[in-house]
Amino acid sequence: MNRSTPVATTLKYLALAGYLVFLAFPLFWLISTALKTPQEIALIEPTWIPNNITFDNFRAAFDEQPIVRSILNTLLVAGVSCLVTVVLSIPAAYVMARYRSVLSRMTLVWVLLSQIFPFILVIIPLFLLLRDLGLYDTYIGLIAVYVVWSMPFALWMLRSYVETIPIELEEAASMDGASKVRTLASVIAPLLAPGVVAAGLFAFVSAWNEFLFALVLIRDPELQTLSLTLVKFIGAEGVARLGPLAAASLVATIPSLIFFAFMQRRLTGGLLGGAVKS
């Protein structure tokens, strides 16, 4: 491989360039559209780079009340989902790692199943259930669904963190007379911090990005999450609306970008490689 010919090298770079264009191009266009004036967007011959860059689209998007409101809604729903997911998952992940019980094995099956079931199978009964419980079209209903939906990943991840903690630590604590619950809270939980952050961020971003559940379970425009509001925007087509739509879309991407910047090494490193192999 060291002695590749100039032709081979050129081909490699051409291929790489092709991939770069394919991957970056749509994003470039989104940013470009977000920074253009309505007049420039409406041009028959689209310009690649905006002639005069403007942030008016961001202002326009925010002036439309629903955007600000739905950003706040989404922050609330995603934030609470994230917290609840983590608080419930830590002890459960601990049990999964430390006990060889039927329950742990059943949980594992559930983690796998939850990856492959068509959502329609749960979403109709969930809709009916939430309606019967009076939780349809409420934050609480949506949050409950998001928590349960993020938990497989959180459990999976935290479980592997617990397994890296030596059992001797717990034995020492129990020798000192601490209960399991106490040991978990004061000895184990602090050591799980990196895993907790990762699982929490994952739960936050999943909730932030989610669309289908929100589409079915939320009707009140006041309660809409950002994904829903963005899709509403499309309906009101018109070339002039494309700028604010692009701007709002970029804003909606920010939390995920932060998450990926934070998680990048772990993601590329082998989280998924491991998940597929293990």
Q: Which of residues 99-158 bind other proteins (CB under 8 A)?
A: 99-104, 110, 113-129, 144-145, 147-149, 151, 155
By the rule CB under 8 A, 262 interacts with other proteins: no
Contact positions with other proteins (CB under 8 A) in 191-220: 191, 208-209, 211-212, 215-216
Which range, of 17-25, 61-69, 75-83, 196-204, touches other proteins by CB under 8 A?
Answer: 17-25
Judge whether 41 and 237 are in contact, CB under 8 Å.
no
Taking the C-alpha atoms of residue 69 and residue 76, their distance in angstroms, rounded to an integer, is 11
Q: Quick one: which of 75, 76, 83, 95 contacts other proteins (CB under 8 A)?
A: 95
* Alpha-carbon dihedral sign for residues 89, 90, 91, 93: positive
Q: Quick one: which of 10, 27, 59, 140 contacts other proteins (CB under 8 A)?
A: 27
Query: Which CB sits closer to other proteins, 76 or 114?
Result: 114
Judge whether 163 and 104 are in contact, CB under 8 Å.
no
Q: Give the list of residues 6+ apart from residue 180 with CB closer than 8 angstroms, or none.
A: 174
Shortest Cβ 3–other proteins spacing (Å): 9
Closest by CA to 157, choosing from 241, 217, 97, is 97
Query: Which CB sits closer to other proteins, 53 or 181?
Result: 181
DSSP string of 201-265, one letter each residue: HHHHHHHHH--HHHHHH---GGG--HHHHHHHHHHT--GGGHHHHHHHHHHHHHHHHHHHHHHHH
* Cα three-residue angle 144-267-28, rounded to 5 degrees: 90
By the rule CB under 8 A, 177 interacts with other proteins: no
Site track 28-47 with other proteins (rule: CB under 8 A), x = hit? -xx--x-------xx-xxx-
Task: Assign 135 to helix, strand or coil.
Answer: coil
Q: Quick one: which of 10, 20, 55, 140 contacts other proteins (CB under 8 A)?
A: 20
Shortest Cβ 69–other proteins spacing (Å): 17
Residue with tokens 């349809």: 136
Judge whether 196 and 158 are in contact, CB under 8 Å.
yes
Which range, of 55-63, 65-73, 75-83, 261-269, touches other proteins by CB under 8 A?
Answer: 261-269
By the rule CB under 8 A, 221 interacts with other proteins: no
Shortest Cβ 59–other proteins spacing (Å): 19
Shortest Cβ 178–other proteins spacing (Å): 11
Q: Quick one: which of 6, 7, 22, 65 contacts other proteins (CB under 8 A)?
A: 22
Taking the C-alpha atoms of residue 219 and residue 12, their distance in angstroms, rounded to an integer, is 51
Judge whether 218 and 123 are in contact, CB under 8 Å.
no
Query: Which CB sits closer to other proteins, 176 or 222?
Result: 176
Shortest Cβ 58–other proteins spacing (Å): 15
Number of residues that bind other proteins (CB under 8 A): 111
Which range, of 56-64, 75-83, 184-192, 196-204, touches other proteins by CB under 8 A?
Answer: 184-192
